[in-house]
Structure 1
Amino acid sequence: MWRLLMTRLLAVLFLLGLVIVSVAASAENVPMKWKFLTQDSRDFARPDFDDSSWQEVAVGYKWKSAGFAWFRSSITIPAEIDGKPTTGQAVGLRWNACDGGECYVGGKVYTRYDNDHPALVVLSESAKPGELIHVAVRVFMGPDTAEHEGSLGQAELCVIDPKLIKDEFLVMIDPGKRLGPLPRSFAGLSQGAGLPDYDDATAALFRGLGIKWFRMDNLLTNAVKKNDDGTLRYDWSDLDKRLDFMKKVGCELIFCISYMPEPFDAVPNPERHSYPRDWNEFGELVYQAAKHCIDRGTPVKYWEVWNEFNTGWMVDPPGRDHLKTYTTLYDVCWKAVRRADPKAWIGGPAIASGPWNENDPRGPGVNGEKFMRGLMEHCEKTGAPLDFITWHEYFQPYGIMKKEAEQIKEYLKDYPKVKKQVKEYAVTEWSYAWWHDRAHDNEVGAAWAAASMLRGWMAAGVQKPCWFLAKDFSSGLQGEWGMFTRENKPKPVANVCRMFNSMMPIRIECKGEDEQIASVASLDPDSGRVTVLIVNFAERYGSPRKIRLSAMNLPSSLDNGVCRQYLVDAIHANLWHDPARCELSVVREVPIVSSNAFDMLFELPNNSVTLLEMDGGNVP
């Protein structure tokens, strides 16, 4: 009897095993089920949270709600995914839903994503079929309190390329090979409509960040007032406030000549985009503004003519071509500025988006080539100055940004007189998105900014990128563009900016780049200090990487020194994650035993930036 019972029990267990194996093997063919709720609590990330009352949904589900919504699932690792065995492999979840969100594994935040930069959640680096993984996702229903439509667009398992997860990625630096000065490119800001305040504390914030230039528009909008008797007067109070602020920051003002004061309107326009009723009258205003800056001891070097004219930010006089209106304005402005200050630099055309026209296969743009070439041709024919070339860009991949600068330089070859004049290139507005987006508040936007700076603007030789916006207008985190909140708290992008401006002055050889990883290194020849900045950012499905930093020929002053690591990622120096720990700080220290060779291994998550600072241990 005992043997019979044991035989039957073993048979049952065997059949159960077959069922379990069968389920695990075929799970990839069954649509994944998710529990869903349009409420918000971080407790929902806990693996033991009871979600039995939640709605069950699958990919393709659509709804409408405000704030945040949650998805939860306990995922069983199948034996195969797309015909590939999973045993011992890295298995991940490709995920995309709503405007973006944050993904939790085992109750801990793993990564954040944006709907244009979907997530890859690593469920296991060495999978075992049948293994159960608890996943929760908090999705963003827009950056405001209004209701927005949402959809679960993607939730699928995948086997991850093992070289991305398991193999070490080598970053090699050699301070013995010096490449010249490191460009200080992440040192500019841009602010439309002025700052929320011009306090000393805000100025100290920007000064401490290393800001060296600051572009502002709307500087003339309130410069002309009407007296009771109908006569007009200049009012420089708003301009003076901004000039004094720049002096406190210790940076150059890029003066964007804009917008039209209401008393000068040729046609009523509440957006301040009218052409002037009298071109000479407007020219006199520009001259008086430039002269006023000089007279008060705060002269301005950079003068940019208008803002995004190519997309309609000035109404044309009847029957006039839009480009002709701009070149007329340009001539009025440069002559007025140079009358006050013959050494001032004049720039434009401050186009929105890239230097191409609509539907150009080379890249994005709205009358971009028409205005970029149009201004160059005008200056070539008339002798008008063009000291620096300006444009704006948001959101595009870093490859497009680099291509834009290269395209503009290519255009210049057709205008040799102008080419000799041009001294600098300035992207006077750039940011993650032109709309409010949660990525502005978290590490996704910060890592994108680092990759765009290093592989876009710096690689293309753009001297003056200006991050839009310097400081939020609204309180709290609402997806605004600011590098700082209204309350002067640094967002992750501010900490990334600080990393770039903490780099040493001389660029050195640094090898280590692929589709996700970019790096740069520099040296202070006097102190022997060495800095290395490494970015991990992917346009889609980025993964964590194991980074091995290897250094040779370090300065002898680094003997018995230390390597300090700073990190911006999903949890470190991240205001969105923890407002109490939003400042950049050291996360790890590794001793440098000998300057002959140094080796350091660490994991760098996707959407992260790290700064490694090596010194002799005696420098604070």
Structure 2
Amino acid sequence: MIRAARYSPWLALAALTLGTANGAEPVRLVVDASRVERPFRAIHGVNNGPIDVGGTVDLSGGYRELGIPSVRLHDTHWPTPDVVDMHVVFPDATADPSRPQAYDFAATDEYLKAVRATGARVVYRLGESIEHHPRKVHVHPPADPERWAAACLGVIRHVNDGWAGGTHLAIDDWEIWNEPDNRPNQWTGSDEDYFRLYATTARAIRREFPSLRVGGPAVGNVGTLQGGRFVPTPFVRRFLEECRRREAPLDFFSWHLYTPDPEAFGAMARAIRDMLDRLGFARTSISLTEWNYLPDGRWAEFQPSGQGLARERFFDRIGGAEGATFALASLLAMQDAPIDTAHYYAGDTNPFGLYTLHAVPKKTHRAYRAFRELIRHPSRLACSGGVPSHVAIAASSREDRDEIVVLVANLDARGTPAALRVDGLAWGDRAGAVVRMLDSSHDFDAPSAPVRLDKGSITLELPASSIAWMTIAPMGR
């Protein structure tokens, strides 16, 4: 119950106004508290685990707070990876993979245990981290694919079955390589080299571990939508053809997307689902194993020529109010899309991550925290209104219906008024709201005084790139 014995109406209206400040027509938003839909899906996975910066940073508490459901392992401890990558755990590519002495699991074991201790599942990427420097060291095709596949089996035995002094971490999902279409930073070989490596490894895993899930190709570019028609890249078309021809299992199809438009994830996923179904992969699930905000749709600032203030601004936008609003709107847009799992890049102190190098949560972390609140209120409520790619809304309630959480995200670079109406409330004129805002100046840290809803309605003034987090409950008299 919201206590409202004393509050100043004018202070409340500073955050929640009953009229618009700029005279613009408000965006109409409706929550129907009487209509419960299927629950929100916990698809807010991330790349990389909580132990970072040479062991001086432990984000485990934050991962638990956010309820991170799944952690995909790629670019771990980038740019100097010392765990997970094949060159770390199987350092001599010519060694006998049947011998425990050929492996170095110590650091990776500790890293994996820390991930599992947060309660998250693991997607283990078998392969190498990205190499941006001109001289490539580890992203070459293995000289002996069969030996490499056998080494992957040794990793799985160690991690899941306790082989070679190992663990029993029950890791089910194994992804073969990362972005083999990203040449030469992730793969210096040909398409054919990757297709052979995938088929060899996937078949080996299926033979020895038939209950595990194997997938790929973790493509950086899956294709384009042209006039409503999906055109996959030649690499993707060939990969699927080769999986059929070589009888290679494909339990999940993994892909990546960095974009300024949160609606792009659903549109692309629906196109991928249609493609997989048409080509005979109806049982293959869809895994978005990397996603994030790409300001203005440009990578230029991440190139050497973009270093300096331009790059600093690039990452400020990704981790700031723009990126936070985008992250929330994207997680909402994915809910009803055929995306089975999704992993934000990244959860750790990586420049794209949820934390600064010194483990300070960014605004994107707070957006994840707001999404977690929807998950904690298990009854998803029907919502309507909003503007695709501009204003998004979601709501959920406790099972006993004594509290409703409403999130509204404004992605526009200018302020936007929004008229919210909540139908089907059982509390009549006792319904009130407390609002927390995230924008360029706030981090959900200054809740408004409670405001009584006027016949279930209230108008918000949403600043540029902002999220309104509303808690609606009966007010005390």
TM range (shorter): 0.7 to 0.9
Distance 2:453 2:347 in 1: 41
Structure 2: 5+ residue stretches without partners: 1-19, 76-83, 303-310
Q: How does 1:27-38 map to 2 (within 5 A)?
A: none
Distance 1:465 1:372 in 2: 19
Residue 197 of structure 1, CA deviation: 4.9
Check if 1:178 corresponds to 2:36: yes
In structure 1, what is the equivalent of residue 471 of structure 2?
613
CA contact (8 A) 1:427 1:466 kept: yes
Check if 1:168 corresponds to 2:14: no
In structure 1, what is the equivalent of residue 11 of structure 2?
none
One-letter amino acid of the counterpart of residue 447, structure 2: V
Residue 561 of structure 1, CA deviation: 6.2
Distance 1:486 1:559 in 2: 48
Q: 2:404 aligns with which of 507, 530, 533?
A: 530
In structure 1, what is the equivalent of residue 211 of structure 2?
343
Q: How does 1:120-519 map to 2 (within 5 A)?
A: 165-185=23-43, 187-191=44-48, 195-197=52-54, 201-217=58-74, 219=84, 220-225=86-91, 233-259=102-128, 270-294=136-160, 295=162, 296-312=167-183, 313-316=186-189, 322-356=190-224, 361=226, 369-416=233-280, 418-419=281-282, 421-423=283-285, 425-433=286-294, 435=302, 436=311, 437=314, 438-455=316-333, 457-473=334-350, 480-503=351-374, 504-514=377-387, 516-519=390-393
Residue 524 of structure 1, CA deviation: 2.3
Q: Deviations for 1:4-40, whole angstroms, at most 9, x for unmatched residues? A: xxxxxxxxxxxxxxxxxxxxxxxxxxxxxxxxxxxxx
Structure 1: 5+ residue stretches without partners: 1-161, 261-267, 317-321, 474-479, 574-583
One-letter amino acid of the counterpart of residue 314, structure 1: W
Q: Deviations for 1:327-373, whole angstroms, at most 9, x for unmatched residues? A: 211122223333443211112110113424xxx846999x9522322
Distance 2:90 2:55 in 1: 21
One-letter amino acid of the counterpart of residue 519, structure 1: I
Residue 192 of structure 1, CA deviation: 9.8
Residue 526 of structure 1, CA deviation: 3.3
Q: 1:587 aligns with which of 432, 447, 459?
A: 447
Q: Which SS does the other structure have where 2:242 is aligned?
A: helix
Q: 1:569 aligns with which of 439, 443, 449?
A: 439
CA contact (8 A) 1:380 1:415 kept: no
Residue 544 of structure 1, CA deviation: 1.2
- In terms of Rg, which structure is larger? 1
CA contact (8 A) 2:435 2:469 kept: yes
Q: Which SS does the other structure have where 1:183 is aligned?
A: coil
Residue 465 of structure 1, CA deviation: 1.9
Residue 601 of structure 1, CA deviation: 2.4
From the superposition, tell whether residues 364 and 463 of structure 1 become closer, same or farther in structure 2 (CA, over 3 Å): same
Q: Which SS does the other structure have where 1:250 is aligned?
A: coil
Q: Which SS does the other structure have where 2:457 is aligned?
A: strand
One-letter amino acid of the counterpart of residue 155, structure 2: A
Q: Larger RCO: Structure 1 or Structure 2 (Cα < 8 Å, ≥ 6 residues apart)? A: 2
Residue 616 of structure 1, CA deviation: 5.1
Q: Deviations for 1:406-464, whole angstroms, at most 9, x for unmatched residues? A: 22112113222x21x213x2221111235341202321221222233333x33433232
CA contact (8 A) 2:49 2:115 kept: no
TM-score normalised to structure 2 length: 0.78
Residue 398 of structure 1, CA deviation: 2.7
Distance 1:460 1:374 in 2: 25
In structure 2, what is the equivalent of residue 158 of structure 1?
none
Q: Which SS does the other structure have where 1:386 is aligned?
A: coil
Distance 1:588 1:197 in 2: 41
CA contact (8 A) 2:150 2:204 kept: yes
Q: Deviations for 1:526-570, whole angstroms, at most 9, x for unmatched residues? A: 3533111111113xxx331222221121245x9856533221101
Distance 2:379 2:117 in 1: 28
One-letter amino acid of the counterpart of residue 568, structure 1: L
Q: Deviations for 1:89-136, whole angstroms, at most 9, x for unmatched residues? A: xxxxxxxxxxxxxxxxxxxxxxxxxxxxxxxxxxxxxxxxxxxxxxxx
**Which structure's residues are more often strand, by fraction?**
1
Q: Which SS does the other structure have where 1:181 is aligned?
A: coil
CA contact (8 A) 2:199 2:243 kept: no
One-letter amino acid of the counterpart of residue 378, structure 2: P
Residue 384 of structure 1, CA deviation: 2.3
From the superposition, tell whether residues 464 and 555 of structure 1 become closer, same or farther in structure 2 (CA, over 3 Å): farther
Residue 381 of structure 1, CA deviation: 3.6
Residue 280 of structure 1, CA deviation: 1.8
Q: Which SS does the other structure have where 2:448 is aligned?
A: strand
Q: Which SS does the other structure have where 2:91 is aligned?
A: strand
From the superposition, tell whether residues 247 and 409 of structure 1 become closer, same or farther in structure 2 (CA, over 3 Å): same
CA contact (8 A) 1:164 1:543 kept: no
CA contact (8 A) 1:200 1:248 kept: no
From the superposition, tell whether residues 593 and 569 of structure 1 become closer, same or farther in structure 2 (CA, over 3 Å): closer
Residue 206 of structure 1, CA deviation: 1.1
CA contact (8 A) 1:393 1:401 kept: yes
From the superposition, tell whether residues 522 and 334 of structure 1 become closer, same or farther in structure 2 (CA, over 3 Å): same
* Percentage of pairs with the same residue: 21
CA contact (8 A) 2:276 2:284 kept: no
One-letter amino acid of the counterpart of residue 53, structure 2: P
CA contact (8 A) 2:429 2:456 kept: no
TM-score normalised to structure 1 length: 0.61
Distance 1:549 1:415 in 2: 44
Distance 2:439 2:451 in 1: 23
From the superposition, tell whether residues 562 and 340 of structure 1 become closer, same or farther in structure 2 (CA, over 3 Å): farther
Residue 270 of structure 1, CA deviation: 3.6
Distance 1:337 1:603 in 2: 54
CA contact (8 A) 1:349 1:371 kept: no
In structure 2, what is the equivalent of residue 577 of structure 1?
none
Check if 1:546 corresponds to 2:414: no
Q: Which SS does the other structure have where 1:439 is aligned?
A: helix
RMSD across aligned positions (CA): 3.3
Distance 1:330 1:194 in 2: 30
